[in-house]
């Protein structure tokens, strides 16, 4: 046998053994035999570097060093899921989707919701091409070298896989492996890890992939996405993925109605503790991909899926004291400082008390024994007081009247629950908080600059607002604590690079109250520049799609403050993007100006996204639901019956894909 054939034969054999052991849990050779074959392959590859393969099983041991993880834009956005905490929530969700789908029969895929770090892996021609963390859903970090060390992630696929697709999953740390890792740390006198989820997430950003390889991480896959895939349903996709070599949890079922969904939830609510992994709920998805397309997405999540969260674990502990934090908007948040207690896999020392109304409603006092749970098993919160253990001499909590940071008298806006410090330009936590918001990943994403460094720069008098960042010099930064030449250079380079960030993210970054990512995109699309937004009247703003009076007034108030105008002018002078740079489309027109289209069904010459883009490129607006304002419904195959009925009731013209193309050509 030729060397190339021998090497390929060993690679194929080792990949199959990896699959047998880590995916099927049915090893067919001993660990010793596997190691001997792996050693043989390593020796052959060292002697014949011309036969290098980036997906060889020998690379699973790691060794690649990644100093900086490249930021990569997802080909398909990674959405988050809406959460539900009761069966009534799930029933309400079904009622909402039935309004769109009409009387169509709906099947559901039920899958356990594993508590890990989300990952998107791209395969091309059956080989692992790239692995990217979820990040903000639009872009994440390239962690390919680290993911390749995880044995349950196939490097090469088998069977009738598509030529290119992305597959999503969770990187998790099995409980047994987590406990073993902690035991090893305890034995050498080190602090153990807090919980499996954070440890798994942190593992993905280790610079040395050989360190990742030492951790018993697993990857559980649950969703395939791509163009023209040979899959018609979620349950079908799970079976296909298994056949291609992925580790897909076998606990998933196909349910014909909500009664079967609730049976699944009830079973796993009591049996989840028998699983080798942490799970905090059940994900329910409309099974049929055609129906998923009809339902579409909100700004943050798919309408066709919902997560049912198991009831949170609850413990009792002592409330030692209440402290108060000041946010970037001036909002005051009371914080409960607790006697440390174990809760849902982590040590909890603090919990949010939300506002003065919550403290008064629960009658929470220092020294009380309180009941604590994790809201959605993430954020600890106090849900009640054990009054039987209260000290007879305890006094009701008196909420603070002045800012704990700058001693300014607090204000409370009518109709709002929070107290605010009005010292917008002089209260240090507000200033630091605004700058920290400005640099975050979803905003300016300034590499080399973190929250602690922002506080360091402010406390040393180097910055007073986020526009000052652009005047920083390397020689000013190097003398600071924990700063060296290289880190100072990275910080300055990151600030310079932020000048290329798109205008919608800049608008979000400057921190106008109530202007989140989605609102920022709406305003930028409508007004195109910061100057146009700053000159808009209250009524102009309210007329913008999805902008209400509260948001509009907040925008007006922001630009009424001279200091804000000064900062914006400085940002412009430094070259920060303050206008929408529209992609040039030579075929774009305004022929659909003033027309609203609703897209429904499957199309042969366009993907749904491309069709929507075509409408917008030609001046039209794409609506998510049919109303009296709809001009046309573009109907493809299998158009949703509810949309068809609504269009007919309102006498909205229904046009085919071919008729749309004719309108476009004319």
Which residues does the annotation mark as catalytic? 113
Distance CA 462, CA 426 (A): 15
Task: Select from 72, 55, 211 the least CA-distant residue to 142.
Answer: 72
Distance CA 517, CA 504 (A): 8
* φ, ψ at 471 (rounded to 5°): -110, 0
Distance CA 210, CA 224 (A): 28
DSSP 142: B
R_g of the chain computed on alpha carbons: 28
Distance CA 409, CA 273 (A): 50
Q: How far is CA 330 from the centre of its chain?
A: 26
Q: How far is CA 380 from the centre of its chain?
A: 20
- Non-local (6+) Cβ contacts of 291 within 8 A are 101, 104, 106, 304, 640
- Non-local (6+) Cβ contacts of 447 within 8 A are 68, 490, 493, 494, 497
Distance CA 261, CA 6 (A): 50
Distance CA 332, CA 342 (A): 27
303, 322, 629, 642 from 99: Cα distances, Å: 12, 47, 19, 7
Question: How would you write 459-508 as a 3-class SS string?
Answer: HCCCCCCHHHHHHCCHHHHCCCCCCCHHHHHHHHHHHHHHHHCCHHHHHH
Which tokens go with 450?
Answer: 């973190």
Q: With contact defined as beta carbons under 8 Å apart, do 240 and 231 qualify? A: yes
- For the chain, give the number of residues: 666
* φ, ψ at 608 (rounded to 5°): -60, -40
Q: With contact defined as beta carbons under 8 Å apart, do 111 and 103 qualify? A: no
Distance CA 512, CA 557 (A): 9
Task: Select from 665, 594, 608, 597 the least CA-distant residue to 636.
Answer: 608
Task: Select from 251, 75, 278, 89 the least CA-distant residue to 196.
Answer: 278
- Non-local (6+) Cβ contacts of 39 within 8 A are none
3 state SS of 314? strand
């Amino acid at each position: 046998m030729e060397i190339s054939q021998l090497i390929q034969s060993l690679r194929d054999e080792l990949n199959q053994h990896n699959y047998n052991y880590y995916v099927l849990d049915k090893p067919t050779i001993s660990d010793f035999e596997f190691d001997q074959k792996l050693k043989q392959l390593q020796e052959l590859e060292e002697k014949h570097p011309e036969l290098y393969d980036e997906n060889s099983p020998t690379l699973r041991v790691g060794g690649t060093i990644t100093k900086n993880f490249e930021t990569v834009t997802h080909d398909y956005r990674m959405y988050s899921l809406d959460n539900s905490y009761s069966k009534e929530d799930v029933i309400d969700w079904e009622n909402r989707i039935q309004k769109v789908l009409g009387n169509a029969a709906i099947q559901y895929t039920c899958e356990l919701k594993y508590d890990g770090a989300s990952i998107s892996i791209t395969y091309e021609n059956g080989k692992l091409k790239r692995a990217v963390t979820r990040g903000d859903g639009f872009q994440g970090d390239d962690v390919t070298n680290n993911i390749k060390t995880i044995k349950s992630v196939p490097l090469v696929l088998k069977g009738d896989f598509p030529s290119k697709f992305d597959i999503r999953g969770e990187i998790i740390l099995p409980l047994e492996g987590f406990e073993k890792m902690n035991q090893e740390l305890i034995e050498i006198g080190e602090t153990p890890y807090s919980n499996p989820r954070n440890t798994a997430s942190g593992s993905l950003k280790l610079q040395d992939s050989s360190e990742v390889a030492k951790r018993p991480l697993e990857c559980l896959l649950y969703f395939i996405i791509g163009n023209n895939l040979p899959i018609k349903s979620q349950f079908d996709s799970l079976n296909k993925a298994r056949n291609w070599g992925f580790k897909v949890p076998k606990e998933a079922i196909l349910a014909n109605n909500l009664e079967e969904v609730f049976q699944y939830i009830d079973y796993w609510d009591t049996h989840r503790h028998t699983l080798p992994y942490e799970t905090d709920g059940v994900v329910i998805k409309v099974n049929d991909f055609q129906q998923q397309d009809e339902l579409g997405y909100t700004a943050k999540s798919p309408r066709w899926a919902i997560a049912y969260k198991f009831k949170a674990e609850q413990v009792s502990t002592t409330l030692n004291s209440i402290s108060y934090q000041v946010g970037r908007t001036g909002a005051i948040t009371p914080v409960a400082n607790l006697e440390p207690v174990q809760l849902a896999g982590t040590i909890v020392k603090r919990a949010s008390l939300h506002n003065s109304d919550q403290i008064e409603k629960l009658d929470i006092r220092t020294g009380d024994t309180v009941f604590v749970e994790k809201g959605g098993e993430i954020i600890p919160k106090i849900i009640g007081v054990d009054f039987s253990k209260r000290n007879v001499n305890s006094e009701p909590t008196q909420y603070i009247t002045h800012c704990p940071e700058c001693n300014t008298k607090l204000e409370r806006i009518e109709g709002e629950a929070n107290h605010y410090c009005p010292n917008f330009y002089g209260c240090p936590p507000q200033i630091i908080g605004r700058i920290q918001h400005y640099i975050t990943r979803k905003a300016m994403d300034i590499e080399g600059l973190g929250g602690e460094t922002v506080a360091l720069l402010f406390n040393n008098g180097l910055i007073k607002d986020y526009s000052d960042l652009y005047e920083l010099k390397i020689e000013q930064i190097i003398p600071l604590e924990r700063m060296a030449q290289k880190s100072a250079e990275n910080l300055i380079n990151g600030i310079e690079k932020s000048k290329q960030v798109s205008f919608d993210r800049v608008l979000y970054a400057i921190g106008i109250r109530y202007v989140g990512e989605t609102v920022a995109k709406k305003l930028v699309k409508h007004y195109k520049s910061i100057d146009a937004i700053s000159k808009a009247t209250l009524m102009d703003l309210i007329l913008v799609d999805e902008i209400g009076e509260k948001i509009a007034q907040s925008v007006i108030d922001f630009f009424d403050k001279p200091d804000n105008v000064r900062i914006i002018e400085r940002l412009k002078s430094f070259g920060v993007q303050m206008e929408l740079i529209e992609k040039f489309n030579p075929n774009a027109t305004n022929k659909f100006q003033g027309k609203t289209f609703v897209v429904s069904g499957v199309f042969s010459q366009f993907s749904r996204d491309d069709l929507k883009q075509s409408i917008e490129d030609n001046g039209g607006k794409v609506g998510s639901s049919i109303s009296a304002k709809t001009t046309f419904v573009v109907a493809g195959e299998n158009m949703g019956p509810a949309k068809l009925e609504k269009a007919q009731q309102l006498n909205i013209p229904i046009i085919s894909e071919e008729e749309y193309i004719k309108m476009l050509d004319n």
